[in-house]
Amino acid sequence: MIARRQFIGSAAAISAGAAIMSAKPLSAHPPTVERLGALDPLETMIRLRSRTDGALSIAWLEAQREIVIDGDIRPFCKLYALVLTQFRKEEDAYIGNTVEITYYCDSRTGELLETTIIPGGTKPVDVPIYRAGPQEVRFKNSLDEWEKHEPSKTGSSSDAFAPAAWVHLVRGVHNPSLLGDTVYLRADEYGRVYPDRTKPPSVFYREWIVWQADARDLMETDNPSVPSGYSYSAASGLRPWMKLEGKQGHTMSNGVGGKVERVDQLPPQLIKLLQEHDPRALDAPESYFS
């Protein structure tokens, strides 16, 4: 356990890039496309996203979100998110037990939004903190399945984002590509919410992530985790808490993130938000899974 006061100063001195990328000497044999073909896409994605050995992994996201109403695009907020994950292998799939905490913040100051007028809305609404998990998430090279979403099991605030419903999930992991000494790997996800499987769908979510890492970390070691960063893009239906009933629109998000070894390597603003609202995630992140 790390006391919160111990990393306030040190976190500010660590850049996000330094936290997620490591320097290592070049080998005598540069990465090649042939060696790239030996990498299993799914296992590679888990090594980039989390760990293959079941230990706790810590990742972060910083993104901008916009509201699109009838083709009118307006800035909305900045997102800061923490994702804690433990993965296990089961046949041709990896099962992740995941906790996510996301803060909706002022785009300019980074301070938490508590109430706001959503672009396209007319009255102030309360802005919830998104807390979900621990909940299991399945990953395969190609996945197409249904699952039952029950907010009472995934977090007290999750029903403000999507009420109890059936969710049709499509996830894919693409073959990695090599550019110079860097490997890139794209993973995407599409979810569609059906309050009743016999009726039309409501909320949707579409996500694209491109992971990157030093090719030698992936090709020359069998480490369960490698230093990595990622770019993030997503589109999502309007959520119940936004109170934009009758509006035709969605949100668009884009940002960057990465994986760190310790909570004191998280971006300073995310650490500040966690200290104020979810200190358990800093003091004892492993306790979410016990």
Q: How many angstroms separate the CA atoms of 128 and 204, rounded?
A: 19
Check whether 26 has a pLDDT greater than 90: no
- Is the predicted pLDDT of residue 219 greater than 70, yes or no? yes
**Prior bond of 134 cis (ω within 30°):** yes
Single-letter amino acid, residue 249: G
Q: What is the mean predicted confidence (pLDDT) over 16-36?
A: 55
Residue 143 pairs with which residues in a beta bridge? 171
Q: 258 pLDDT exceeds 70? A: yes
List the structure tokens of 270: 């995310």
When divided into structural domains, the chain yields a total of 1
Predicted confidence at residue 159, as pLDDT, reads 52
126, two tokens: 């309360």
Asked whether residue 17 carries a pLDDT value surpassing 60, the answer given is no
Whether residue 14 is predicted with pLDDT greater than 60 in this model: the reply is no
Cβ–Cβ under 8 Å, residues 162 and 138: no
What is the extent of the structural domain holding 118? 4-289
The 3-state DSSP class for residue 267 equals: coil
> What's the rounded mean pLDDT across residues 44-60?
97
- Per-residue pLDDT, averaged over 163-188, amounts to 91
Q: What share of the chain is helix, strand, coil (3-state, %, to 5)?
A: 20, 45, 35
DSSP letter at 4 equals G
Q: What was the pLDDT predicted at 187?
A: 96
User: What digits encode the pLDDT tens for the residues 128-163?
Assistant: 999 999 999 999 999 999 887 665 554 445 555 456
Q: Looking at residue 4, what is its pLDDT?
A: 39
pLDDT of residue 200: 74
| Confidence (pLDDT) at 247 | 85
Q: Is the pLDDT of residue 22 over 60?
A: no
Q: In which band, very low, low, confident or very high, does the pLDDT at 122 lie, cut at 50, 70 and 90?
A: confident
pTM comes to: 0.82
pLDDT band at 209 (very low <50, low <70, confident <90, very high): very high
Average pLDDT of 270-281? 98
Q: What is the pLDDT, as a whole number, of residue 163?
A: 61
pLDDT band at 29 (very low <50, low <70, confident <90, very high): low
More confident residue, 15 or 116: 116
pLDDT at 167: 87
Specify the pLDDT at position 250: 94
